[in-house]
Structure 1
Amino acid sequence: MVMKLILFILLLEAASFSVSSSRPSHEFEVIEKEYLNWVRQMSSFKHSLFGKGKNKFKPCLIKRVNKKPKAGEFASVQKAINSLPVVNNCRVLIIIGAGTYREKVEIPPTMAYITLQGAGAGKTIIEWDDTADKMGQSGHLLGTYGSATFAINSPYFIAKNITFKNKAPSPPSGALGKQAVALRISADTAAFIGCKFIGAQDTLYDHIGRHYFKDCYIEGSVDFIFGNGLSLYRDCHLHAVTNGYGALTAQKRESLLEETGFSFVNCKVTGSGALYLGRAWGTFSRVVFVYTYMDKIITPRGWYDWGDKNREMYDSN
């Protein structure tokens, strides 16, 4: 049975403001001063939420990637990206034909304004199978950051109708080093429309920046949407694949002054196992669910404090 929940989970700023705390009074004065500075900043038009994006939508260049040699200029997505100028300042549309592209892709910070357009999320698939405990070319472990099948480090990125997949096997509960990221976005002002993100542990690394996800499907087991982005997920399908305990989000907001957080609007949560809506990765983790349908897989507790009782302040309606 599916329940319609109007659920606001605000892992709020109050952890450091407990009146029962044994902190000396001068510490509270410092906290109050910082809070008032934050209020003044947020009430002005100078903070990042009101910053105007300098996006470019009309393409100046179109490139085609296709599994069939005669149907495109390139047979791989990375080769198409490598063909661009090191510093790219105009919108480039890369059209990717149907097929499974088994490759690890990274977009460097200077290549802004890239749009990837697939033939459909069920038809255009980019996949790899790295995990955090694998050794990289540098001789060091990849770590969660380096395990991504697709990594974006440049601003104004757009992806439409593509599946990003990490094929690493789903690890047993509590396994170390088995984080396997399907996509990492580490840049500002990105949009994903009609895309799928498939993985198990740590599927979508919503690392830093402002991001918009529309009509996307995100599948995983533990912390399968995680990071410290300021992101809106609208009309998305979030699907858990676990036989035990799992967690949908792990948001890493560390300070009251950070403007980050995940918002889910008109989404649905389905799947198997027992699912926390979130684990408080950061001291001030912030996740909001609004008008979201949920299967009866959500644990009554709702979220997990990551072993820190100071992170247990929240508001639920």
Structure 2
Amino acid sequence: MVCRERVKIPQEKGPITLQGSGARKTKITYNLDADKAGGTLKSASVSVKSDYFIAKDISFENSSPSPDPGAVGKQAVALEISGDKAAFYRCGFLRYQDTLYDRYGRHYFKDCYIRGTIDFIFGNGQSYYEDCTLESVAKTFGSLAAQKRLSKSEDTGYSFVNCKVKGTGYLYLSRAWGPYSRVVFIRTYFADIIRAEGWYNWGIPGRENTVFYGDYKCFGPGANRKGREVWSYELSDKQVKPFLTVDWIDGKDWLPKGKQ
């Protein structure tokens, strides 16, 4: 089943669950880029602002055509989530630049497939990605994440645990959209598409002193730390502990119990 329309779930409408029949079978899709919409946020095929949102076995797509590298105004969001305590199980997120706007709130992604080219997971959410496949379809250079933590006091950041990074192009793991950007990869497979330096300070001198980027027991041909930025971390057992489990997002307090 394919639903070709924009879906907006306002803050007052939660909690809501979207149940599909499989990410390859059920899809919500729309064709709109930032240039036509009047901004990246407005381009989203699906926008969720309510708390306690759950999606299962469904894909979210922005079907706007693949932009050329460096094209302006071609960001096109498949899903924007700014509600708190949201969970996604076996979902797909399909686009090129700016696929998943993980904007605000605590979020859990389990067994999801996320595809893109540049900053295809971005925003200032506090999120835990578990057993997800992250696929780059970049023609040349790209970036997996662009996390926007703005101050040291914010609890936000992305933790990727037991994930798989694969695809094409030449990929940064994250770019420092915010001065205190925070992203960690834990026991994750890296294909041979990861740039040697691994991380990028957004071209703003000084951000390398305030971001928190690191990896822990990652593996694969792209996991060699030779050449990594010296300001990134090979995380110790103590450093990685806050990011290891769903406690990172207080998940034991609000995630559904049992098999989903």
* TM class by smaller structure: 0.7 to 0.9
- Please state whether the residue corresponding to 2:152 is helix, strand or coil: coil
- Taking the aligned partners of 1:254 and 1:186, their CA distance within structure 2 comes to 16
The residue aligned with 1:164 is 60
Distance in 2 (CA, whole Å) between partners of 1:105 and 1:144 is 16
The residue that corresponds to 1:316 in the other structure is 233
- What's the CA shift string for 1:24-78, capped at 9, x where partnerless? xxxxxxxxxxxxxxxxxxxxxxxxxxxxxxxxxxxxxxxxxxxxxxxxxxxxxxx
TM-score (normalizing by structure 1): 0.66
TM-score, length basis structure 2: 0.81
- Residues 1:102 and 2:19 aligned together: no
Residue 210 (structure 1) shift: 0.2
Whole-Å separation in 2 of the counterparts to 1:297 and 1:120: 29
Q: State the alpha-carbon separation in 1 of the partners of residues 205 and 187 from structure 2.
A: 28
Aligned to 2:15: 113
**Are 2:44 and 1:148 aligned?**
yes
Q: 1:191 aligns with which of 56, 66, 87?
A: 87
**Residue in structure 2 matching 1:203, options 67, 90, 99:** 99
Q: CA deviation at 1:315?
A: 3.2
Match in the other structure for 2:35: 133
Q: Distance in 1 between matches of 2:95 and 2:130?
A: 20
After superposition, where does 1:138-287 map in structure 2 within 5 Å?
141=38, 143-287=39-183
What secondary structure, in the 3-state scheme, does the structure 2 residue paired with 1:110 have? helix
Provide Cα deviations, 1:145-180, integer angstroms capped at 9, x if missing partner. Answer: 010000001000000000000111111111111000
**Residues 21-60 of structure 1 correspond to what in structure 2 (within 5 A)?**
none
Root-mean-square deviation over aligned CA pairs: 0.7
Question: What is the CA-CA distance between 1:308 and the residue it aligns to?
Answer: 1.1
Unaligned runs of 5+ in 1: 1-98, 136-140
Distance 1:296 1:174 in 2: 23
CA displacement 1:57-101 (0-9 Å, x = unmatched): xxxxxxxxxxxxxxxxxxxxxxxxxxxxxxxxxxxxxxxxxx111
Aligned-pair CA distance for 1:283: 0.2
Rounded Cα–Cα distance in structure 1 between residues aligned with 2:5 and 2:95: 15
Could you say which structure has the larger radius of gyration?
Answer: 1
Moved over 4 A (4+): none
CA drift at 1:201: 0.2
Distance 2:109 2:133 in 1: 11
Question: What's the offset of the Cα at 1:311?
Answer: 1.4
Structure 2 partner of 1:123: 25
Q: Deviations over 1:165-223 (max 9, x none)?
A: 01111111111110000000011000000000000000000000000000000000000
2:212 aligns with none
Identity, % of aligned positions: 58
Give aligned pairs, total: 213
How far apart are the structure 2 equivalents of 1:315 and 1:201? Answer: 25
Which has the higher relative contact order, 1 or 2, with Cα contacts under 8 A spaced 6 or more apart? 1
Q: Kindly provide the amino acid, as one letter, of the partner of residue 272 in structure 1.
A: T
Q: Secondary structure at the match of 2:41?
A: helix
Q: Which amino acid aligns with 2:4?
A: R
After TM superposition, give the deviation of residue 309 of structure 1 in Å: 2.0
Deviation at 1:316, TM superposition (A): 2.4
